[in-house]
Structure 1
């Protein structure tokens, strides 16, 4: 059985490019628990807060319930739920999952395959990360899910069939003259650019193309904040800062809060600026609205 294919075929709610990483987040959490404790039952009452935090930090901006993936992942042959009444999930409602003392665990066939082939856990986790989240989020997400990222990084053969364009970074950095579009940072070391990234506005995992119309040159910290939804772009290509972001230090005020309403740097004349469609996707699927005024 090809478990990567089974994971890839996992049914997810989709509509117009909206993010719905509820099941992938639960599966990453379950893999982390398996890595630490084997296929011991995961009590919903104990896992609820951790799943809620994962969904809040790495799910879409809209509110979502940890009961949704805990119940619905059972439809994909990867996850089983039992209650004090026996086998089967009581549904996605939080009250029912708590009252029935629901527990979940990986399907025994998957657990057996993970035990027999240790590299499989890393390959599944890497596939889930690549297919659902921006690369800048992978390390922190794994830490929160309890996955040992260093062990996962020993296995890198799983990637999407469509490979990323290795020239994307060079083109984007050149277009923005090796300067962060948000703060103008432009560091070099021994003739090599340091601390600058080519950020995808629409994530590659959600059909974001490797071309200039979807790229921004950002310093490492603003790239991370952009992918976390702290920062965004308006239709006028000014910088948006989430009103949910709190920063009390002088550094936070200077590096983040002061950006609100500031025009983002444009690429060199004659080169494509970020398309409005990609900006709109980021605003609806990543940016934590409302924006600060």
Structure 2
């Protein structure tokens, strides 16, 4: 059976919404843009198996392709949850519910919000033959060009195959280089997908700046499997208060020290020295506690502009 011909035909017959504006028929770009984002994830090895999770990388790529290829401003909302849910009508996109949410998924005709999608859906998967095609560079490119020709005939020349990765890198540079005041003017804190993406990029850039080393203990931890990092990227002033994800509001900490910092069991003074709070004692396990770091110099990034802002450290002490 010629699976490439079959899926090329199915990908170009997606059920997409259309509207006529000024005598011109415009089709919703969301489903094909999501498929282009999946292809990028496979190509960049961000998606490694046939379990397409709701990740910051996928969201950013989807939004990037919507922005590049959309036929007009009418499709500027870029609601990630809608194509992720409704692509199941294609027959080759299958949703896997989280444990205990199977009935909710079966009964749902749509999703209320991005948060609802994440609560109910664990991941999506593709038909096995289609997944195998996406693993093959030549077949993947043929399917990608079929999507571009069918859904984006007027804008396909704007397509860039790594648009999502470019956007993530740009966000990382923004966090490292821009003042918090500039950042606060551009981030949309009401957009759940935006907050998720910014949080992920913040974590990546903080750990990169500190070379995956705990700023207090000096323990360097690297994941050799490419999975979740073993250290935490900690907001000095909580995100809920500051909405500040610039590098000057970040620290790299071991999980236990992250919790101690958030609970004000220690703080950092203006000379970047650890100061343990009064009023608590360690009954045992002193080699693994907080008290032994009292007076220790913080381990700071090599780039001076990436150091924690003194005003953020002072604000953290005041809460």
TM-score (norm 1): 0.43
Structure with greater proportional helix content = 2
| Structure of higher CA gyration radius | 2
